Amino acid sequence: MGLLKELKKGVLISLWFVFLTFPVMVIKVDPIARTVVWRWANALYMAVGTFFIYFLVQFFLRKKENRKETNDSKEQTLSFIHRILQDRLQRNILIGVVAVVAVFFPQFLSAYQTNVMTTALMYVVLGLGLNIVVGLAGLLDLGFVAFYAVGAYTYALLNLHFGLGFWAVLPIGGLIAATFGILLGFPVLRLRGDYLAIVTLGFGEIIRLILENWGQFSKGPSGISNISRPGFFGIEFSLQSSIIYTYYLMVLLVLVTIFVVNRLQDSRLGRAWIALREDEIACQAMGIDKRKTKLVAFSLGAFWAGIMGVMFAAKTTFVNPASFTFLESAIILSIVVLGGMGSIVGVLFGALILILMPEYLRALSQYRMLAFGAILVCMMVFRPQGLISNIRRTYTFKKKTTSSLCR
């Protein structure tokens, strides 16, 4: 009985999409030659395509609903990865497998693959940095790329003028970026939510524009080239081994970052951030210094971005302002949200998916970005809490007291 109705709905929806996409998909005009091409075939593809996609989506929604109805118990709703992480043995096995893959990755794959993986790992660290600001402290930052740029230019300029090496600048870059984080943090302390978002976006643009226009300082849009790659006690590497060295360096940095962020999360400060995210006023009432907590979140987030900036400059050996646009901030933010806000494992997965996907979708070259956009939307629609959402530490009373007060 429902089938006919469903079919009718499917047809109506596909007709709607045919109408919607009609001007852009069907008509193609050449204003110079003054010719019009009517591509009716596209309308047909559109109709058939939408029809099938509609039923596919319906099918998945059904399945999701059924699952929800049948087993509502807590165990099942935990995602696969969490179940693994909760079991000590399974977790150790997983970590072991990841470690082996990470260590032997460059052996079995080419330098190109290693390079791509290094980039993805850099975004893991960037994502973890932004996760402190957005995921833990709940401050929406759309200009995160500014700190990335600060780090990259710190290394580029110090290397250019004073010949400082990678290892010397790594902490300097992080510290300068952290200082910028505090600089940005001060004026925006009072702002909330989306006002904060637009100011940070503006801040990111200002940094990029200054780098672009202040030619004497930053060499302008032409950028700075020939930046030294990371060294190792004065040993010069060939390109090939340098790529592999950078890869292992990045693995190490990711490990350090995960360790630090994990410890931070469980610290007094981390709990203060989460409290701030949940309810600012209640948080203040509990005696948490809002100012200090926010500033520390900004500066710590910026610190990691700065370090990655140094890494970026060392890896590509070239920086110019065009690498630090708003889109970059948007991608880092997408990593955090897609992975699951506040979740370290989530950010890890988010970064690997979002950075590796466009790289391997390159075969589809033209449709790459189209698919990227569509996947972002689908992900959010079907899993709005992110791939691997953070599990809150919970404590359940065994006694049968009603907990309506604690809601």
Partner 1 sequence: MKFTVSGKLFSTTACLMFALSAPALSFAGDTIKFGIAGPHSGDLASYGLPSAAAAKLVIDKFNANGGIKGKKIEILQEDDVCKPEIATNTATKLVSSGVEVVLGHICSGATIAAMPIYKDANILVMSPSATSDELTYSGKYPNFFRTIAPNAAQSPAMIDFAIDKLGLKKIAIIHDKGDYGKPLAEGAKLHVEKKGKGQVVLFEGITPGAMDYSAIVQKIKESGAEVVVFGGYHPEASKIVSIMKKKRLDTKFVSDDGVKDDTFIKVAGDDAEGVYAAGPQDNSANPLALKAKEEYKAAFNSDPGAFYENAYAATVVMLNAIEKAGGSTKLEDLKKVLQTEKVDTPVGAVSFDQKGDAIGVGFSMYVVEKGKYVVVK
Partner 2 sequence: MDYFIELLFSGLTRGSIYALIALGYTMVYGIIGLINFAHGEIYMIGAFTAFIVATVLSIYGFPLIAIVIIAGIAAVVWSSSYGYTIEKIAYKPLRHAPRLSPLISAIGMSIFLQNYVLLAQTSDFLPFPRLIPDFPFMEPIAHIVGSTDLVILVTTVIVMVALTFIIKFTLIGKAMRATSQDRTMATLVGINVNRVISATFIIGSGLAAIGGLLIASHIGQINFYIGFLAGIKAFTAAVLGGIGSIPGAVLGSLILGLTESFATGYVSSDYEDVFAFSLLVLILIFKPSGLLGKATNQKV
Contacts to partner 2 by CB under 8 A: 16-17, 19-21, 23-25, 27-29, 31-32, 34-36, 42, 134, 140, 187-188, 190-195, 197-199, 201-203, 205-206, 209-210, 213, 280-282, 326, 330, 333-334, 337-338, 341, 366-367, 369-370, 372-377, 379-381, 384-385
Residues 140 and 162: their CA atoms lie apart, in Å, by 36
Cβ proximity to partner 2: between 21 and 119 the closer is 21
Q: Applying CB under 8 A, which of residues 220, 264, 284, 372 lies at the interface with partner 1? A: 220
Query: Distances in Å between the alpha carbon of 99 and those of 151, 164, 249, 387?
Result: 28, 33, 14, 22
Decide: residue 384, CB within 10 A, 0-12 exposed, 13-18 middle, 19+ buried. Answer: exposed
Q: In angstroms, rounded to a whole number, what is the distance separating the alpha carbons of residues 299 and 153?
A: 18
Q: Is 390 in the site for partner 1 (CB under 8 A)?
A: no
Residue 302 to residues 129, 173, 179, 182, 341, Cα–Cα distance (Å): 7, 10, 8, 9, 17
Q: Verify binding: residue 70, partner 1, rule CB under 8 A.
A: no
Residue 330 lies near partner 1 (rule: CB under 8 A)? no
Instruction: Choose the binding region for partner 1 from 36-44, 221-229, 264-272, 387-395 (rule: CB under 8 A).
Output: 221-229
Contact 312, 119 (CB under 8 A): no
Q: Which is nearer to partner 2, 175 or 295 (CB)?
A: 295
Is 318 near partner 1 (CB under 8 A)? yes
Which of 368, 375, 385, 391 binds partner 1 (CB under 8 A)? It is: 368
The entry of partner 2, partner 1, none that residue 376 binds, CB within 5 to 8 Å by partner kind: partner 2
Nearer to partner 2, 1 or 24 (CB): 24
The secondary structure of residue 384, as a DSSP letter, is T
Q: Which does 225 bind (CB under 5 to 8 A by kind): partner 2, partner 1, none?
A: partner 1
2 binds, among partner 2, partner 1, none (CB under 5 to 8 A by kind): none
Q: Cα–Cα distance between 358 and 2 in angstroms, integer? A: 40
| 103 touches, from partner 1, partner 2, none (C-beta below 5 to 8 Å by class) | partner 1
Interface residue with partner 1 among 49, 96, 215, 373 (CB under 8 A) is: 215
Half-sphere exposure of 84 (CA within 13 A, CB side): 13
* Whole-number Å distance between alpha carbons of 228 and 163: 9
Q: Cβ of residue 198: shortest distance to partner 1, in angstroms?
A: 18
- Contact partners, residue 187, CB within 8 Å, separation at least 6: 199
Burial of 122-133, coded b for 16+ CB within 10 Å and e otherwise, reads: bbbbbbbbbbbb
Decide: helix, strand or coil at residue 388: coil
Q: Rule CB under 8 A: is residue 295 a binding residue for partner 1?
A: no
| Residue 217: burial class (beta carbons within 10 Å; 0-12, 13-18, 19+) | exposed
Shortest Å, Cβ 8 to partner 1: 40
Q: How far is the CB of 257 from partner 1 (least distance, A)?
A: 21
Please state, as a whole number, how many other Cβ atoms lie within 10 Å of the Cβ of residue 168: 14
Which of partner 1, partner 2, none does residue 284 bind to, with CB < 5 to 8 Å depending on kind? none
Residue 171's nearest CA partner among 318, 303, 314 is 303
Which own/partner pairs from 9-17 qualify as long-range (CB within 8 Å, at least 24 positions apart)?
A: 9/54, 10/51, 10/54, 10/55, 11/51, 13/50, 13/51, 13/54, 14/46, 14/47, 14/48, 14/50, 14/51, 14/54, 15/47, 17/46, 17/47, 17/50
Applying CB under 8 A, the span of 133-141, 237-245, 347-355, 376-384 interacting with partner 1 comes to: 237-245
Does 19 interact with partner 1 (rule: CB under 8 A)? Answer: no
Nearer to partner 1, 20 or 364 (CB): 364
115 binds partner 1 (CB under 8 A): yes
Q: CB under 8 A: which stretch of 11-19, 94-102, 140-148, 234-242 binds partner 1?
A: 234-242
The reply on whether position 77 binds partner 1 by CB under 8 A is no
Min. distance of Cβ 78 from partner 2 in angstroms? 18
- Spatial separation of the C-alpha atoms in residues 9 and 25, rounded to whole Å: 23
What does the binding site for partner 1 look like in residue numbers (CB under 8 A)?
31-32, 103-104, 106-107, 110-112, 115-116, 119, 212-213, 215, 220-223, 225-226, 232-233, 235, 237-241, 243-244, 248, 312, 315-318, 320, 322-323, 359, 362, 365-366, 368
